Structure 1
């Protein structure tokens, strides 16, 4: 039986992605759950998407939607973009995608459209890019874009008194819906870490690959993890999102 392996935010770093798959000795028996943000940052966003498209033909992969993936899809559909996206990784992505043929772009649009908002496994473990806001969980979420934009789930976990019982009326009700929640979106480098961080039952696997950290793949059962080299060292002539 294979492992359930969770991959954090890639942000255009194909070299780092190839490193972690090799270092984790990934096999076709493993279930690979990608938490989103495949693009924006380093210069290989189209190559990352193409690699993921091909990987699914040989491996068991679940691809979750990140906010940067959604922003790219909107631009590819409409040609319109906002300055915030452009200045936070979108510029290099646009340049690279403008070099693709229309057929290549269409294949990537199909991939982006196929991304899942979340994945809930048989052990009641939730895998989602950012979080959710409804106290009763994902199936009651009114604002579905929060699956790839929310930061309050992680911020609440960071601020939570670790001594508080899960039965305490002050304990965040959202946390009790799932046995564990695996997220990306908000890099743990913001709290001075470069490894997966657990707060309550929330695991953050975004170890800052877009900035000065490595890319991470983690075994959801054992919590063993493997990392790339700090991604900026793999792209020495680029700035990423720094």
Structure 2
């Protein structure tokens, strides 16, 4: 029996229509392992519906659901009612609105889904998957605070600023980048540096292509590097375009 693919998927931000469009293009089968990099909520109007969809998808497929910073903030609100002003200004209100018509039972199932998310995942080929990054030079297993996994931007900044002529054996080569064959992240849209597709810097792949804003939702086969992208998400939510 042939093995399935390993597909990594970028930040969704409530764009269920984009996710459905993307998975159709990928032609996902039950053999495939799907690794989601986090930030399922906050953005377009379907945040709660994205979570419902992923819960069902996880019953049919092997899925890894990483925790993003927006997931953490929405999770806190669902569990305790905690409101964060910064969260409300950056998509949180859309998640609050999305849950207005959900029952207590549905919300409880979503809280359980958030509870079960993981901060990072390392596969057998020593490839790391994490929403944002990590700071400990000995690896994510030694990280002091969980928040770095879904808030840190220094890993991506380090990879972007690295001189390509610097060899991995050089004393100055960043120790964090030596720990893994490849690192897959989201969190910081590649559209910020004018790129509409995933960007590779050193051994770091950034798969967040700005679905929360004017970009597309992206998926990549981590072995073949085949790429799929949805239609621009804002076009799929044309009636909400003014929110940005």
The superposition leaves residues 94-151 of structure 1 with CA deviations (integer Å, 9 ceiling, x where unpaired) of 0111221111111100000100111100000000000000011111111221011100
The superposition leaves residues 153-189 of structure 1 with CA deviations (integer Å, 9 ceiling, x where unpaired) of 0011111111111111111000000000000000000
Is contact 1:210–1:240 with CA below 8 Å preserved after alignment?
A: no
The superposition leaves residues 37-83 of structure 1 with CA deviations (integer Å, 9 ceiling, x where unpaired) of 00000000111000000001111111100000000010111112111
Unaligned runs of 5+ in 1: none
Is contact 1:89–1:241 with CA below 8 Å preserved after alignment?
A: no
TM-score (norm 2): 0.97
Residue 173 of structure 1, aligned match among 163, 171, 175: 175
What residue number does 1:236 align with? 238
Cα distance in 2, alignment partners of residues 70 and 184 from structure 1: 15
TM-score (norm 1): 0.98
What residue number does 1:46 align with? 48
The number of residues matched between the two structures is 242
Cα distance in 2, alignment partners of residues 83 and 22 from structure 1: 36
Is contact 1:4–1:30 with CA below 8 Å preserved after alignment?
A: yes
Residue 19 of structure 1, aligned match among 21, 45, 53: 21
Residue 37 of structure 1, aligned match among 36, 39, 43: 39
What residue number does 2:189 align with? 187
Q: CA RMSD in A?
A: 0.9
Aligned residue runs from structure 1 range 55-204, under 5 A: 55-204=57-206
Cα distance in 2, alignment partners of residues 240 and 112 from structure 1: 29
SS in 2 for 1:57: helix
Unaligned runs of 5+ in 2: none
